[in-house]
Amino acid sequence: MTARMRLHPEAIGVGMTSQRVRDRLIERLRDNGIVDERVLNAVRTVPRHLFVDEALATRAYEDTALPIGHGQTISQPWVVAKMTEALFANGAQPKKVLEVGTGSGYQAAILAALGLEVHTVERIGELLRTARKRFRTLGFNIRSKHDDGRIGWPENGPYDGIV
């Protein structure tokens, strides 16, 4: 990983959020066609359990979408990995990426963990405020905007990829 995360004890995890559990998720992703080791390492390293409600933390490393409130979900890890892997398709080396729909902030954190300059737009203010706190806690410098996202964030473009 090229971005620096300040991992605190909760980020490391125990029990159902431990490194062993994360490694099992990585094996499931590999078994389901995710091959980019950079992406797999980012998924292994970014503490997904910090992006869900504490009551769901024990399910954070299942390959499933989970509710995050406001009728939204944190995407299934395979979907996050596949979308991220697509940015690097055909040897592409993106530097600047726009994410539409910040949600919990997990996808943006994965992108930032890969060293990308991330700009993310979210229409639900409470979700964005919570995601921004997570970014700060983990030490990610992710630019975020509270807006609808239908037109993206043109004043910061062009982007090398959009998720």
Please say if 75 is a catalytic residue.
yes
Per DSSP, the three-state class of 129 is helix
Element (H, E) at 72: strand 72-74
First to last CA, the chain: 20
C-alpha–C-alpha distance, residues 49 and 36, integer Å: 22
Q: Which of 18, 75, 104, 144 is catalytic?
A: 75
Maximum separation of any 2 CA atoms in the chain, in Å: 44
The residues that are catalytic are 75
